[in-house]
Amino acid sequence: MAKDSDLDLLEDGLRKTMLSKSGPELDAALTELGWAEMLSDMPDVAIPMVFRLLGETGSHASVLNDVVLQSSRRPAGGIPVLPFAGGIQVVWERAAVDEIDRWVLDNSTALDVLGGLPLRRVDEGDLLRLAEGRRALAWWLVGSARAMLSLARQHALDRVQFGKPIASFQAVRHRLAETLVAIEGAEATLGLSGEENPDLTALLAKAAAGKAALTAAKHCQQVLGGIGFTEEHDLGHHVKRVLVLDGLLGSSRELTRKAGAGLRARGSAPRLANL
């Protein structure tokens, strides 16, 4: 395990890279920074860090493919089929691909994805192990939610109306407090390693994170008022991103319903967090 100071350096390096690059360029930069080794040698550190930072910086990369392939014991570098909400199936396009993946991409349909993620629709695909991918997306959603909260918090302190910062109004404060509660709750679900039931633990974490990100989007949009609705402000970018990421690998709404069905089948509620 790397030392804390090394991890801080790594995190700083990743953040800087993500702030300057996105998409295929970021894929290439992450490869150079040793993403493949990080993922195989220390996934418990690498996944939370990289995915949370994608959320915080608003950047994107095709690293979800790597996580899903690794946890499904598939060869690295491919393009796995990913379920989206409502039974839709998609692939996350990446630039450098071999022949098989070219075939996958050639048989896919271009989509006009909100916020510009390179997703394409496919008609059929294998069943893959999604738990690790859901955890990764949950970290991404939590990162995006924190980015939105940070934008809204700063705006509330800076924006003056009725002669005082709007952060001094309880209605505004409570929306931001509510957002923090949702984010902290989701992060707590991600803190659970979930050895006893990795699938359900990951499913609930993705559901909690999706819900927290949508809560953050709603409250932060409101606190940011008119400026948050303009294209020049960063909020809209995060809002669009979380709408898409919430749907990927199952929406919060779907996963919650699935958890409910599991309760009915089992006849009791699993206590996943134990002292």
- 267 binding other proteins? (CB under 8 A): yes
Q: In angstroms, give the least distance from the CB of 102 to other proteins.
A: 40
Q: In angstroms, give the least distance from the CB of 194 to other proteins.
A: 10
- 163 binding other proteins? (CB under 8 A): no
Q: In angstroms, give the least distance from the CB of 265 to other proteins.
A: 8
**Contact with other proteins (CB under 8 A) among 46, 69, 204, 249:** 204
- 269 binding other proteins? (CB under 8 A): yes
Residues 220-259 that bind other proteins (CB under 8 A): 253, 255-259
> Distance (Å, rounded) from C-alpha 54 to C-alpha 48?
10
Looking at residue 53, its amino acid is L
Looking at residue 252, its amino acid is S
Binding mask 109-148 for other proteins (x = CB under 8 A): ----------------------------------------
Distances (CA, A) of 81 to 8, 47, 126, 161: 33, 20, 7, 49
Q: What is the dihedral of CA 85, 88, 93, 99, to 10 degrees?
A: 140
**Residues with Cβ within 8 Å of residue 31, at least 6 apart in sequence:** none
Pick between residue 112 and residue 195 the one whose CB is nearest to other proteins: 195
**Contact with other proteins (CB under 8 A) among 96, 110, 157, 227:** 157
**Contact with other proteins (CB under 8 A) among 107, 188, 193, 227:** 188
Given the structure tokens 């303009």, which residue do they identify?
230
- 87 binding other proteins? (CB under 8 A): no
Question: How many amino acids of this chain bind other proteins (CB under 8 A)?
Answer: 44
**Cβ–Cβ < 8 Å for 109, 90:** no
> Distance (Å, rounded) from C-alpha 56 to C-alpha 142?
8
Give the range of 21-29, 30-38, 164-172, 232-240 binding other proteins by CB under 8 A: 164-172
**Cβ–Cβ < 8 Å for 85, 58:** no
Pick between residue 24 and residue 270 the one whose CB is nearest to other proteins: 270
Q: In angstroms, give the least distance from the CB of 258 to other proteins.
A: 7
- 169 binding other proteins? (CB under 8 A): yes
**Contact with other proteins (CB under 8 A) among 156, 202, 214, 239:** 156
DSSP string covering 164-206: EEGGGSHHHHHHHHHHHHHHHHHHHHHH---SS-HHHHHHHHH
Largest CA distance in the chain: 64
Distances (CA, A) of 180 to 186, 213, 223, 263: 10, 10, 14, 28
What separation, in Å, do the N-terminal and C-terminal C-alpha atoms of the chain show? 25
Q: In angstroms, give the least distance from the CB of 107 to other proteins.
A: 34
Binding site for other proteins (CB under 8 A): 153, 156-157, 165, 167-170, 173-174, 176-178, 180-181, 184-186, 188-189, 191-192, 204, 207-208, 211, 253, 255-261, 263-264, 267-269, 271-275
